[in-house]
Amino acid sequence: MEITDVICHVLLLPDLHAEDTDGSQDDIVVEIHTDEGIIGIGESDTNPWGARAIIESPTIHTMALGLKDVLIGQDPLQVEALWDRMYVGSMHYGRRGLGINAIGALDMALWDIKGKALGVPCWQLLGGAQQPAIKPYASLQPRGKDLDSYSKSLAEWAVRAKEYGFPAAKLEVTLSGPYAHHGLDEPAELVPEVVRVCREAVGPDFVLMVDVQYTWSDAGECLQTLKRLEEFDLFFIETPLQMDDIDGIAFLHDNLNIRIAYGEWQTTRFEFIELMDRGKIDVAQPDVGRVGGLTEAKRVCDLAADRDRLIVPHCWKSGIGIAASVHMAVTAPNCAYVEYLPAELCHSALRRELVGEELCMENGVIPLPTQPGLGVELNRDTVERLRSPV
């Protein structure tokens, strides 16, 4: 089989809110076509125009190949060899960040092709299932103009997630800083007050995580507030310090009785090794597209298992990324939960409509996928409707 074409779609919600902290408003979706008529699809949670440019760019020289150029004419079933060719061929400008995000979307599509060609779900190609099903957690990020309205709304959402059948939910409690949602601006020291309202609303028998989205730049100041979260029995605290403060993250690990989770932005296994070994994180959160695709995400899971760390993948995109996340998660015995936003609780048309039939929660778990490849297909009407004009 040969790859004959690579097509990129940049998709965008028509009512984009640039002041929101919400990556479900845009997407880059790739299609890889083959001479046997099999088409693989993938996506990545990144700047979609940048990723498209990296994929479609013509080759400049031997150290700066265009990713599409690397793939055309190749056998799509040699997925890991193609990952290496893309990585080595784009090393000059890629290596981390956007270059790897773009490889991630393509790698996802290659695994989709391989599963379809062999008639098996992707998880079977990634070493087989180590778990019979995977637990999803609901990511909750309501809008609120001040502390009171935000706390009440978040608590209502948490109760709704519990009633909906989720075993766990993550509270986005970013009260200030560059990634505060929708203009919220309250003192970061008040994070425990918001968590208190939510814990009281859902009761003691529901798993809660908290994401503060890189609120603090000073580890000592951060620790003072986080110590006040210890009483709420949290499963983890996500990204409290800026992501390059690896020694600060280790300091938090050494002084806090809550698991520390990082990894949603990290690319390649090399950045996860640094986070785990120097940063001492307890929970690694690879986003399958961003980290470099299923090939690289699986390597991260294995490295985390070697170190007795948990995996809880990040996923805030469409049904494509959710499928990839679940296929990876069931192959990892150390994967505790997957991030999962049910289409019914999400305002984004990309999340709700980009794929047709998709993986869903049943009785509090997402069962093993059964369809070949990723098991999801693009809704062509949605692709046409949400295609970015630029």
> What separation in angstroms does the CA of 100 have from each of 53, 77, 123, 128, 347?
13, 20, 22, 25, 29
**Dist CA 48 CA 115 (whole Å):** 26
Shortest Cβ 62–Mg ion spacing (Å): 37
> What separation in angstroms does the CA of 10 have from each of 67, 177, 374?
17, 29, 20
Shortest Cβ 239–Mg ion spacing (Å): 6
Of residues 45 and 211, the one with the C-beta less far from Mg ion: 211
Shortest Cβ 139–Mg ion spacing (Å): 8
Could you tell me if 144 and 113 are in contact, meaning their C-beta atoms sit under 8 angstroms apart?
no
Of residues 6 and 312, the one with the C-beta less far from Mg ion: 312
Strand, helix or coil at 165?
A: coil
Q: Does 271 bind Mg ion (CB under 5 A)?
A: no
Q: Which stretch binds Mg ion (CB under 5 A): 90-98, 135-143, 204-212, 350-358?
A: 204-212
Residues in 207-226 at the binding interface with Mg ion, rule: CB under 5 A: 211
Of residues 112 and 211, the one with the C-beta less far from Mg ion: 211
Of residues 87 and 316, the one with the C-beta less far from Mg ion: 316
> For residue 20, which of 170, 237, 213, 269 has the smallest C-alpha distance?
213
**Dist CA 160 CA 165 (whole Å):** 9
Q: Which stretch binds Mg ion (CB under 5 A): 68-76, 141-149, 152-160, 257-265?
A: 257-265
Shortest Cβ 211–Mg ion spacing (Å): 4
Q: Does 287 bind Mg ion (CB under 5 A)?
A: no
Q: Which residue is nearest to Mg ion (CB)?
A: 211
How many CB atoms sit inside 10 A of residue 370's CB? 9
Of residues 122 and 207, the one with the C-beta less far from Mg ion: 207
> What separation in angstroms does the CA of 173 have from each of 151, 369, 381?
9, 32, 36
Total binding residues toward Mg ion, as defined by CB under 5 A: 2
Which positions touch Mg ion (CB under 5 A)?
A: 211, 264
